[in-house]
Amino acid sequence: MARRYSVRRQRGFTSIALLCFALLYLPIATMVVFAFNAGTTVGALEGVSLRWFATAWNNDRVIEATIRSLTVAPIAALVATVAATMAALATTRTASYRGLAFKVAFINQPLMVPEIVTAVALLVVFSRIKVWTGYTGIGYLIAAHIAFCIPFAFLPIRARLETMDLSLERAAADLYATPWMVFRRVTFPLLWPAILAGFMLAFVVSLDDVVITEFIKSAGQETLPTYMLGQLRRTVTPEMNAISTMFLALSIAVVTLFFFLSRKKD
């Protein structure tokens, strides 16, 4: 009997996998190590200290930028996930028709367009709206993040809907359940892990975005990534490593939380 094919049995697989992991995580590990540097440069480790974490914690601009990032990202992710869920339902729970594939591609198009193009387009649109309305608040930043987060939430949700068995939904409909009851009692519980995955992707993408935020934000609307970019243009200190390390810890915590929330129960 022929053995089942496994890519892990291919010659050199282990070496290539270890090389890929080293290229991915060695720079991150180096950044974390130098976050505890007692010196003032990022090129030489002069001892171990928490001074740069304390410096970042007591930096009012860092705190303000962090609060703004943690305000924009959840709102943008939530609205984008709701919109993506509705779009996924509209493109899967319907009979196939001419133009359906185009609509799906149109929703996913922002993933293929260079981010700088999206940033310039949003800047042009929002600049005109600012002139017409006189409003210059953070709403533009949230709207921009929602716009480019929708495709990230749409992909896992639609993928889950396409693989779901329709028999339960049809059975509920046969028992005179309304479309809303079918969604609430049958579709939503089965779709919940994908919705969480879409929300997590949108949240992380919004949290660490630089290019679009840099174009859309008004004066005094720094998010943590744009603040770090501005500081790196001036001077590089281990404080940036400390901020990045805390940012990394937050991302790991969010991913871990959503992993446990979305894990299927026995």
Q: Do 88 and 191 form a contact (C-beta atoms < 8 A)?
A: no
Distances (CA, A) of 244 to 32, 36, 43, 76, 211: 8, 12, 16, 22, 17
pLDDT at 87 over 70: yes
Is 115 among the domain residues? yes
Q: Which amino acid is at 251?
A: S
Buried b (16+ CB within 10 A) or exposed e, 70-82: eebbebbbbbbbb
CATH of the domain at 255: 1.10.3720.10
Is 34 among the domain residues? no
Q: Which amino acid is at 190?
A: L
Summarised one tens digit per residue, pLDDT across range 139-185 is 999 999 999 999 999 999 999 888 888 888 888 888 888 888 888 88
Is 110 among the domain residues? yes
Is 94 among the domain residues? yes
Q: Report the domain count for the chain.
A: 1
**224: domain range?**
60-262
Is 10 among the domain residues? no
Q: Do 209 and 147 form a contact (C-beta atoms < 8 A)?
A: no
Is 2 among the domain residues? no
Summarised one tens digit per residue, pLDDT across range 88-115 is 998 888 878 888 888 888 888 888 888 8
Query: How much of the chain is helix, strand and coil, in % rounded to 5?
Result: 75, 0, 25
